[in-house]
Structure 1
Amino acid sequence: MKFVLYSLVMVFSCLSALGQSTETARESQIDSLIALMTLEEKVAMCHAQSKFSSPGVPRLGIPEIWMSDGPHGVRAEINWDNWGYAGWTNDSITAFPALTALASTFNPELSAAYGVAVGEEARYRKKDILLGPGVNIYRTPLNGRNFEYMGEDPYLASQMVVPYIQGVQQNGVAACVKHYALNNQELWRGHINVHVSDRALHEIYLPAFKAAVVEGEAWSIMGAYNQFRGQHCCHNELLLNDILKTDWGFDGVVVTDWGGAHDTKQAAEYGLDIEMGTWTNGLTASKALAYDNYFLASPFLNQIKAGDLSEDLVDDKVRRILRLMYRTNMDATKPLGRVNNAEHHAVARQVGTEGIVLLKNEGDFFPIDPNQKLKIAVIGENATRQMTLGGGSSELKAQFEISPLQGLRERYREAEIVHSMGYASGAPAYGRALPSPYDADSLKAAALAVAKDADVVLFFGGLNKNHYQDCEGGDRLQYGLPFGQDELLHELAAVNANLGLVLISGNAVAMPWLPKVKGVMQGWYLGSMAGYALADVISGDVNPSGKMPFSIPKQLKDNAAHSFGEMSYPGDSIDQYYKEDILVGYRWHDTKKVTPQYAFGYGLSYTDFAVSAIKTDRTKYRLTDEITVSYAVTNTGKTTGAEVVQVYVGKPKSKVNRAKKELKGFDKITVEAGQSATGSLTIPVSDLAYYDEKSSDWKVESGSYVLYIGNASDQIQREIKVQIK
């Protein structure tokens, strides 16, 4: 049999080389392999054999599938049958910035480079499926896992996820897009039953997944833990069979989130292909050596033998699994991969510098001249804390991690830099929050003493990867900064007014101290090159160009999900209703006139830009047309920089409820100081459709539309009316 398989592989490789119909040959080959398998062998391929692998068929030379957590890097090796780390010495990797940072670059080309780099590292580590990227929508700033996702806007997430997937998969590694769908909180994630309208589902929560499948051609997708309309998402008839596999034509593999399967019949019939992690509560306890008892293991086999389930069901699953294998571990042309090389470090650093968002810069506090002999007080635990650790499944074993303090010390050779913790949290621990080992009053007193005599105070605060912070398995408990940071900032401002703040977080936070600080940067979790990327921007070596991928509300009740009370977020532990419907993020702020602290798409620069000559190619369009918007961007300052032109579209007097405007296009343009550059972008008229619940289809209304062109959702330079027929 091995000779038969070897011959089939050689035929497939030859056809690939000759440029013939590899897809037809592959499908024929898959059918031949399935015909050679026993029922037991087929069923075995549909469930795990270890924490991160599923079996092949050794008799036929079909290999195992090996998976690894992502999406910000390849996780360290885990033991075969428990959650302990295996203790390898050769599994350190490059940690890339979190996906919130990637989204804030508004740069799809950089997303492609990110995908290529992380895909190369996964291939080097012999991983067949990388568990990422994540594209769940940012609905509430309390969601502990927002840092793994790409913000609140479905269009932005769609534009950024497609090149990421394509970059990963060119390495012969399957991207596994997660968590499909509506996994927008960690609290009660394993069972909360989400109720959301069809319009909100299709217009807000599914577009990035659809783009990943239809445009990105993702080879695998991960189901979510939660329920949707009474069925768990890992075996959900509407989400998996009807929408994903039928409407979108997905030909890849659906993988459970670990422990996401709950029923053999539903798993068999409602779209699940590989079951992983059953009898685990996420990342901790598990039932050892239970693999034959999985829902898609012996119970599946027995129900097929009894005639309760059709063998066609397992054949379809195996066909999809083999298809993925021919794209990954059974592809004779796949590359070798690379890890921890200079090019990957450069990508991580560039994503970091382009992703950092300058929120406030009173009196040009930033940049801080690296050539002056300054005394700089660096305050905050986040200046030295390792942020690649903790956070849940995206925890990484980085070969190195440059801290913000180290980055500053290497760049500011002329300055005297003194660090004081100021506040402290506990060590990372999944599922529980450990107390700080330090005395809070002593830390505060030391920080104030250091800050009092400094020329400049830089506070590195925000959140971390601990439980109840930016971490899988639990949501945040408060909107304000933890560990006494709000109080500390007020006291620091009282002893030294020359105070700037760098927020290290993946989430919005309350800012009661905002009037008392001169500068604020959103610094994200930036991975291995974090300190260098931050120093690049703080020093002015790189001009910041990041834009917020989500709105920052002034107070929690200003967020749409929270404005409707407990049943909207977090629910009653059984059911939850998305009462804000399609008005998520800036859609809510714009439509309901709720002023945010900082708007979606907002971000300052060290230079000034003027967007002018804004026009459309015409004013009347039909359904099959594209709207072309052209513009000029002039850099009126003294520093080369990049601006993001954003085009939103609204439909006044619509026959259905709509947001005031929705992002439909963006363009990042780099312009030399004192120079101008022109640009244009196109918007297909079909993209202006809304989801009609009566017909279960997309419809474009005729009539007048308004194009809003600016550089943030609340900073619009021009409005243009167009007619659609």
Structure 2
Amino acid sequence: MKKVILLAMICLGTWTSKAQYSEKEIEAKIDSILPLLTLKEKVAMCHAQSKFSSPGVSRLGIPEVWMSDGPHGVRAEISWDSWNYAGWTNDSITAFPALTCLAASFNDSLSYAYGVAVGEEARYREKDILLGPGVNIYRTPMNGRNFEYMGEDPYLASRLVVPYIKGVQKNGVAACVKHYALNNQERWRDHINVEVSDRALYEIYLPAFKAAVEEGEAWSIMGAYNQFRGQHCCHNEILLNNILKNDWGFDGVVVTDWGGAHDTKESALHGLDIEMGTGTNGLTYSKVNAYENYYLAGPFLEMLENKEVEESIVDDKVRRILRLIYRTSLNPNRPLGSVNTTAHHEVARKVAQEGIVLLKNKEDIFPIKDETEITIAVIGENATRMMTRGGGSSELKPQFEVSPLEGIKARYKNAKITYAMGYASGAPAYARVNPSPYDADSLKSIAIDVAKKADLVLFVGGLNKNHHQDCEGGDRKIYNLPFGQEALIDELYAVNKNLGVVMVSGNAVAMPWLSKTKGLIQAWYLGSMTGHALADVVSGDVNPSGKLPFSFPKKLEDNGAYAFGEISYPGDSIMQEYKEDILVGYRWHDTKKIAPEFAFGYGLSYTDFSISNIQSDQSIYAANEAITVSFDVKNEGGITGAEVVQVYTGKIKSKVPRALKELKGYQKLAIASGASQPGTVTINVSDLAYYDDSISEWVVEPGDYYLYVGNASNNITKKIRISISKKSRS
């Protein structure tokens, strides 16, 4: 036995002083370890031993794999065998803005900084896998979990997910990209069978995952709860074996979403590596250890022993798990990590500042000056409510959370700040009814009285992380603002026309009250530094530069998922068909000529920008070339700011149905007042391809295209006509 342990320690590299293992060395070490493992030990590595860990092999010094929820921060420690919090006093962390906010920044380098910071905190907490980021596509504004994702556009999500992953994994912590795939609603998420065309699958719903694997080199992927073409996504032959592992060459670990496994043979054969969170009765295999009831536990071992499944199947799973362990806990160059540092707080604040979107600014109500003669009435529960609580698995335990009201009070030293709650929503919980101790009429009456006496009213409302709002486990019930906020806004406007609104949400909402506000700021869920970041923008210390990562329909029926009846959304409880196909988000609005309330890519500034001298480097391109679009951006106002120039492409007279235009490039430029700056966006001709499901290949259609250059999907400064030839240029 001692010889075996000694050999294992040498194989694992415990005694080496080498700075870093090469991939070749890791594979050689894994080859030497596999023969030392018993079949039972191999199977044990493929399923949970607690709520958030899977076992190693102590006999050989193979460490456990420890996981934690993300992606906006490391979740508080969960008990070993229940969903209760462990009650630790040293697990407080930095809460980073939700990924909708990061997406709104249109800033790739900021995504990397975000990933590095959250990865450092995960490393400090001794986690091997951080369960995030999420890149499911924003298909409908009713999805309760949209706030965790990167918007409606596959190109934007692909651009931002790669640096996030690289930042996290720099710390020797695996990013676990989720939820693969088509988990675009919470209602019936555990069983709904999604039917979608191959075109929509490849063009809309898979690109961000593909980029995460091929460019980000993600070390783990989390399967989705739902089914796709009759198989659950956590053990899906098409998604996991054919596309992920074969076509994309993914060499990492596939982890179930918690409770996402449903069958032993499918789990064994269809791409699953680690099973987590399965509900068990503790009776079939062991009353003591219910984890032996998992599909990839006792039943899997029996199938292997009975030769119903080849041992090579479990060996592949263990090889992937060992590879992940070498990249994380057995990485000799793994940094120590840190938590709640000033640098992390600065990253959280910077992401929030750049993600906040100014949607309306009539009569320049924003920025609000800090003057002694002004009284600002801050109205709304969301001005004081902690938004890191609730929401499901993304709930966080931050060391602190600066509320909007606290941030405004800290920034405004001269103006008089008054506050009234205005409305109440109840505790963040999964209960269907969250009773509130407040009387709604009294709250409204007090708020109206406060508003009457103010020079300016700043209403801070929106959604929160209650069930059936921005929350895991259930979709929204209504598109309108809840808790009587719309009536409150009407009454505030009746007594004070100088009304600005700060919308805190991870989703679009109906805005029948929009004409009654002078200004509107989309503030998202901003994490620990919420109040300071919001005050930075409201005061003008920071010029807003965020752009919407998804469209805001005027009414729910304007969203593409709602144009084809209930079978399209939410489905009939068993089946769902994505009948809008590739026309998701702005693609739907543009192509069907349905004006949104606010368009994808839209966002105002406190200064004025002009885009000029827009041109492409050629007019005719070969199939193997790249298109370079150049332009100049001038800041014509009196404040330094940043503009996002967006380049879309569209095929003229295509032989297949296509969107009017699709985002293919962007550049964010920070420009001083009065200055000009040149910019370029490069697009590979191959990126103009559509997925031809008749031959299962990407095809670049020759002919004429438009390049659309502007600063929002519906605000195009110039169209340039180009041609793509059939041949490559030698």
TM range (shorter): over 0.9
* Partner of residue 657, structure 1: 657
Partners of 1:628 and 1:681 within 8 A in 2: yes
Distance apart, 1:702 and its partner CA = 0.5
Partner of 2:123: 123
Kindly report which structure 2 residues correspond to 1:680-719, keeping only aligned pairs within 5 A, or say none: 680-719=680-719
- Kept in 1, the 8 Å contact 2:68–2:130? The answer is yes
Counterpart residue type for residue 363 of structure 2: G
Q: Report the Cα offset of residue 563 of structure 1.
A: 1.6
SS class of match (1:663)? strand
Q: Which one-letter code corresponds to 2:231 in the other structure?
A: Q
Counterpart mapping for 1:228-627 below 5 A: 228-279=228-279, 289-430=289-430, 432-627=432-627
Q: Which residue in the other structure is 1:284 paired with?
A: none
Q: How does 1:190-209 map to 2 (within 5 A)?
A: 190-209=190-209
2-side partners of 1:288 and 1:334: how far apart? Answer: 36
Aligned counterpart, 2:7: 4
Q: Tell me, which stretches of 5 or more residues in structure 1 are unaligned?
A: 282-286
- For the residues of structure 1 that align with 2:23 and 2:350, how far apart are their CA atoms? 37
Q: 1:442 to 1:289 in 2, by over 3 A?
A: farther
Query: Match for 2:89: what amino acid?
Result: T
CA contact (8 A) 1:45 1:56 kept: yes
Partner of 1:107: 107
Please give the alpha-carbon distance, in whole angstroms, between the structure 1 residues aligned to 2:148 and 2:660.
28
Cα separation, 2, equivalents of 1:12 and 1:314? 28
Give me the whole-angstrom Cα distance separating, in 2, the residues matched to 1:75 and 1:518: 38
Corresponding residue for residue 24 of structure 1: 24
Q: Does the 8 A contact of 2:280 with 2:294 survive in 1? A: no
Q: For 1:598 and 1:289, how far apart are their aligned partners in 2?
A: 53
Q: Distance in 1 between matches of 2:252 and 2:159?
A: 21
Q: How many residues align?
A: 717
1:565 deviation in Å?
A: 1.3
**Are the aligned partners of 1:46 and 1:318 in contact in 2 as well (CA < 8 Å)?**
yes
Closer/same/farther in 2, CA of residues 708 and 288 from structure 1, 3 Å limit = farther
Partner SS for 1:88: coil
Q: Which amino acid aligns with 1:168?
A: V
- Structure 1 residues 398-433: Cα deviation after superposition (integer angstroms, max 9, x where no partner): 000000000000000111111101000110113534
> For residues 458-501 of structure 1, what are the alpha-carbon distances to aligned partners after superposition, in whole Å with 9 as ceiling and x for unaligned?
00000000001100000000000000001110110000000000
C-alpha separation in 2, matches of 1:415 and 1:33: 68
Evaluate the alpha carbon distance shift between residue 585 and residue 280 of structure 1 in structure 2; reply closer, same or farther with a 3 A threshold: farther
Deviation at 1:562, TM superposition (A): 1.0
What is the CA–CA distance in structure 2 between the aligned matches of 1:371 and 1:108, rounded to whole Å? 37
Partner residue in 2 for 1:88 = 88
Q: Match of 1:241, SS? A: helix
8 Å Cα contact 2:609-2:636 kept in structure 1: yes
SS at match of 2:352: helix
Cα–Cα, structure 1 residues 288 and 408, in superposed 2: closer, same or farther, change >3 Å? Answer: farther
More deviation, 233-242/563-572: 563-572
**More off after superposition, 2-11 vs 626-635:** 2-11
Letter in structure 2 aligned against 1:464:
N
AA aligned to 1:465 is K
Give the 3 Å change call, closer, same or farther, for CA 12–146 of structure 1 in structure 2. farther
Question: CA contact under 8 A between 1:16 and 1:22: conserved in structure 2?
Answer: no
Q: Distance in 1 between matches of 2:381 and 2:671?
A: 37
In structure 1, how many angstroms separate the alpha carbons of the residues matched to 2:498 and 2:349? 28
Displacement of 1:373 in angstroms is 3.1
Structure 1 pair 696/431, CA: closer, same or farther in 2 (3 Å)? farther
CA deviation after TM superposition for structure 1 residue 289, in Å: 4.4
Deviation sequence 1:542-598 (CA, Å, 0-9, x none):
000000000000000000001211110000000000000000000000000000000
1:169-184 pair list within 5 angstroms:
169-184=169-184
**Is residue 12–residue 25 contact of structure 1 (8 Å, CA) maintained in 2?**
no
Q: Distance in 1 between matches of 2:429 and 2:114?
A: 29
Amino acid paired to 2:10? S
User: CA separation in 2, counterparts of 1:403 and 1:162?
Assistant: 31
Counterpart in 1 of 2:51? 51
Q: Distance in 2 between matches of 1:357 and 1:74?
A: 26
CA distance in 2: counterparts of 1:509 and 1:445, whole angstroms: 25
Query: Contact 1:12–1:26 (CA<8 Å) still a contact in 2?
Result: no
- 1:599 and 1:101 mapped to 2: Cα distance? 16
- TM-score for both structures, normalised by structure 2: 0.97
Identity %: 70
User: 1:129-168 counterparts in 2 under 5 A?
Assistant: 129-168=129-168
CA contact (8 A) 2:363 2:518 kept: yes
CA contact (8 A) 1:431 1:473 kept: no
Q: More deviation in 206-215 or 23-32?
A: 23-32
Comparing 415-424 and 583-592, the one that deviates more? 415-424
Partners of 1:591 and 1:299 lie apart in 2 by 51
Following superposition, the deviation at residue 7 of structure 1 comes to: 1.9
Q: Kindly indicate whether the alpha-carbon contact (under 8 Å) linking 2:359 and 2:521 is maintained by their aligned counterparts in 1.
A: yes
String of CA shifts for 1:255-275, please: whole Å, max 9, x gaps: 000000000000000000000
Aligned partner of residue 720 in structure 2, secondary structure: strand
User: Does the 8 A contact of 1:358 with 1:522 survive in 2?
Assistant: yes
Query: Secondary structure of 2:221's partner?
Result: strand
- Give, in angstroms, the shift of residue 371 of structure 1: 3.6
> Which amino acid is the alignment partner of residue 311 of structure 1?
E
How far off is 1:130 after superposition? 0.1
Q: Structure 1 residues 660, 41: closer, same or farther in 2, change over 3 A?
A: same
Q: SS of the counterpart of 2:273?
A: coil
Q: Distance in 1 between matches of 2:357 and 2:590?
A: 21
Partners in 2 of 1:585 and 1:13 — Cα distance? 53
The Cα RMSD (Å) is: 1.2
Distance 1:309 1:607 in 2: 65
**TM-score, normalising length from structure 1?**
0.98
**In structure 1, distance between residues paired with 2:29 and 2:346:** 41
Task: Determine if contact 1:499/1:519 at 8 Å carries over to the other structure.
Answer: yes
Partner amino acid for 2:388?
T
Q: Distance in 2 between matches of 1:225 and 1:681?
A: 37
For 2:14 and 2:459, the matched residues in 1 are separated by 62
Q: Which moved more, 1:433-442 or 1:539-548?
A: 433-442
* Amino acid paired to 1:419: Y
Q: 1:344 to 1:10 in 2, by over 3 A?
A: same
Give the distance between the partners of 2:106 and 2:113, measured in 1 at CA.
13
Contact 2:11 / 2:33 at 8 angstroms: preserved in 1? no
Q: Does the 8 Å contact 1:15/1:22 carry over to 2?
A: no
Q: What SS class does the counterpart of residue 647 from structure 1 fall into?
A: strand
Give the counterpart letter for 1:6 in structure 2. M
Contact 1:433 1:468 in 2 (8 A): no
Give the letter for the 1:2 counterpart: I
| Conserved? CA contact 2:9–2:15, under 8 Å | no
CA deviation digits over 1:130-182, x for unaligned, max 9?
Answer: 00000000000000000000000000000000000000000000000000000
The offset of 1:15, in angstroms, is 5.7
> Do the aligned partners of 1:81 and 1:289 also contact (CA within 8 Å) in 2?
no
Any conservation in 2 of the 1:185–1:475 contact (CA below 8 Å)? Answer: yes
